[in-house]
Structure 1
């Protein structure tokens, strides 16, 4: 329950942050009349995400057993790829995302930021709808793959409930951010949720390898790496929690343990590495000035 909650909380806050920046800038610059275009883009993105999730779920239900295992492996690998790209993209883009979005809005409405009195053509609504649609739709489609992968590993009602609660909290925080009611340390928030998501991604990568084995496509390194079924079985309360959050297995194969460890070690080292400081520009020599 905790994993889908935190993933949907992060995804929802990312989508809400992008939407609130767009809506807030329109309001600040006297362009509030364009806000309906923002909400149209949001609704279209939500509809696309729901359609994609329903379609993928229906496709999976029609597959025979081995094909379902292969489908689960593919969904898991796609989710891992998208999770990692999302974490590193936000780490890089967080510094300039507000400036970039504001520049895109000005370009879409073809109106200088300092002259809100002029009227942009109606056709400018389409770029604004598209900007919001792609910003929110990206997060929505990412969420579809995350949730499908997690639901496949954690059947039962707790995972969907956790995802729904995360989305509700994210919407509430997004409204508060838009209205200026709260201030979040977004750098710290994305940093620590990024670490958690990389741990979840490591579990999904390991589970994808197990699904490939069950589909008959991977039969190497299948000896047990360790066996904690007597000490901490998955069926215990703590084992169930660890399995739902980190995809814990009490007796994983050697290949699964290697994938989990190498993936987590590599991504955490790169993610937690301090960014390089921007190079200082040298002042031009006096002989070149003037």
Structure 2
């Protein structure tokens, strides 16, 4: 429940931040009449995310067991790639996102003969990116979780993200977004390592990956995955009570590489602007 909650909270705040920057800039430059186009772009992006997520879930439900394992493994790998790119993309553009969005907005409203369509498209692609990232992550989490905890956590995260976004936009809440994205990004990398390990296991069960399957240790008697603590660790960090060389190796190698990249000095932004944390 905690993992989907935090992911939805982070992704929701990212999307709210993008929409908030666009809405504020439109108001500040006397273009408030364009706001309906912004909301149309947001609605279309949300509809696309729901359509893709619902479609993939319905299609996968019809698969035989081995194909379901294959689908779970592929979705997990895609989720790991998207989550990783999301963390490092935000780390790179955090200080220039406001300027970049404002420049894109000016271009959409001045360089295009069809300003409404251009504005809708700009907002759509900006928000759809966040939505599709969330869809693939939630699919990976839901397939590795049981019970209503994960959907409830995702819903609560979304609701809180909307509230936080409205408070930030109204100016009644000052959130250190730089610190927020840094620590949630670190958490996401640990979660992604667990998803990767489970994806390797799913590919093995689908018959596509049969290398390095020696079990390194077995904690099933002392800390089983179906026990209270084991279930929490499995749901949050991809814990396996009897990991193989393949799954544990994938977990450790990914996490080491990702953490080294994460703690390296952030690349200098191409455009200097106000820090996200001041929005």
Taking structure 1 as the reference length, what is the TM-score of the superposition?
Answer: 0.90
Say whether residues 1:209 and 2:200 are aligned partners: yes
Say whether residues 1:159 and 2:155 are aligned partners: no
1:104-141 residue CA offsets vs partner (Å, 9 max, x unmatched): 11122219xxxxxxxx97x2111111111111111111
CA contact (8 A) 2:5 2:158 kept: yes
Deviation at 1:276, TM superposition (A): 5.3
User: What is the correspondence of 1:15-94 to structure 2 with a 5 Å cutoff?
Assistant: 15-94=15-94
* SS of 1:220 mapped into structure 2: coil
* SS of 1:217 mapped into structure 2: coil
For residue 224 of structure 2, the aligned residue among 228, 233, 239 is 233
* SS of 1:172 mapped into structure 2: helix
Which range moved further: 269-278 or 223-232?
A: 269-278
Q: Which residue of 1 aligns with 2:159?
A: 168
Task: State the alpha-carbon separation in 2 of the partners of residues 205 and 256 from structure 1.
Answer: 8
Task: State the alpha-carbon separation in 1 of the partners of residues 108 and 214 from structure 2.
Answer: 58
Say whether residues 1:136 and 2:127 are aligned partners: yes
For residue 126 of structure 1, the aligned residue among 102, 114, 117 is 117
Aligned pairs, number: 269
Task: State the alpha-carbon separation in 1 of the partners of residues 29 and 76 from structure 2.
Answer: 43
For residue 254 of structure 1, the aligned residue among 245, 251, 260 is 245
Q: Which residue of 2 aligns with 1:186?
A: 177
Deviation at 1:277, TM superposition (A): 6.2
Root mean square deviation, CA, Å: 1.4
**Radius of gyration: which is bigger?**
1
CA contact (8 A) 2:223 2:230 kept: yes
Q: Which residue of 2 aligns with 1:219?
A: 210
* SS of 2:218 mapped into structure 1: coil
Deviation at 1:275, TM superposition (A): 2.5
Which range moved further: 185-194 or 102-111?
A: 102-111
CA contact (8 A) 2:17 2:165 kept: yes
Task: State the alpha-carbon separation in 1 of the partners of residues 220 and 129 from structure 2.
Answer: 40
* SS of 1:79 mapped into structure 2: helix
CA contact (8 A) 2:91 2:266 kept: no
Deviation at 1:200, TM superposition (A): 0.7
